[in-house]
Amino acid sequence: MTRLIASDLDGTFLQTGGTVSPENVAAIARAHANGLDTIFVTGRPSRWMRQIPEMTGHEGLALVCNGALLMDLKTQETIYADLMTSDAGLKAAKILQELDPDISFAVELDRHDVSFLVDDKYRPRWEVKTAPPATDVESMFASEIVIKLLARPSDRVQQNADEFLMAAQAALDGLVDVTHSNFLDLMIEMSSLGINKGTGLEKFASSRGLSAADVAAVGDMPNDVPMIAWVGRGAAVDNAHDWVKEVATEFLPSNDDHGVAVFIDRIIAS
């Protein structure tokens, strides 16, 4: 019997434009009223979670950075984090530079003052009011508080997001976990080896005395695959990547058609 519902955010709980539907918000409230716990599991860093409690009505916990960090949404504080060692991060960067000398890097850090660093070639996915400070890869790992390493290939790499991901996974096998969260964006996301949405959710569930059979999850992108594969009840929204649909056992309307609300109501009814 499901006791915990985990949902990805972008492309799953949130609509295509980044808004949230009243149907999904109401469904979260219904889940809580029926004794079900909920948690967001997202590739977003902590700095992109500030508006989520107000948008969704959920002020509980969230696993961010692809399961590497558990945060309290109400206080915006870190509860625990699985950090990447400087040795693994620098080795991963060196291997990727051998594949593409002009590849660019950024890191997400577990700190409040400056939590995002880039090199002088990196282009952020979304523009921000204040540009992050540019530095070199060695300096990025000097603090030993890196949660996630990001890499964006140069224009010379003629691959789509899936091809780039598979090439990086082969090159970095046994060193770091590698994924991507947007097939339209040519970028990979790296975490400490063995850290992904699946292991992150398993760690959290185990701390609550829950097994995979007690957990349901829904997602849309390759970074959701480990989570959907681990849970007892894994669902894909209609707009999901084919890799997610291959491991899902349930299929839902799209994120724009309130697929998460449909999933929650199915669970309540069952």
- pLDDT tens per residue, the chain (270 residues)? 999 999 999 999 999 999 999 999 999 999 999 999 999 999 999 999 999 999 998 999 999 999 999 999 999 999 999 999 999 999 999 999 999 999 999 999 998 778 999 999 998 876 566 777 789 999 999 988 999 999 999 988 888 999 999 999 999 999 999 999 998 889 999 999 999 999 999 999 999 999 999 999 999 999 999 999 999 999 999 999 999 999 999 999 999 999 999 999 999 999
Q: What is the pLDDT of residue 193?
A: 98
Report the pLDDT value the prediction gives residue 128, as an integer from 0 to 100: 60
pTM, rounded to two decimals: 0.95
Q: What are phi and psi of 40, to 5 degrees?
A: -85, 135
Nearest to 111 by CA among 127, 92, 133, 89: 133
Confidence at residue 223, expressed as pLDDT on a 0 to 100 scale: 98
The confidence score (pLDDT) of residue 112 equals: 78
Rounded Cα–Cα distance for residues 14 and 3 (Å) = 22
Domains, the chain, with CATH or none: 4-81+196-269 (3.40.50.1000), 86-192 (3.30.1240.10)
pLDDT for position 184: 85
Distance in angstroms (rounded) separating the CA atoms of residues 218 and 216: 7
pLDDT of residue 143: 84
Measured distance CA(188)–CA(151) in Å, rounded: 5
pLDDT, residue 131, reads 73
DSSP H or E segment with residue 247? helix 242-247
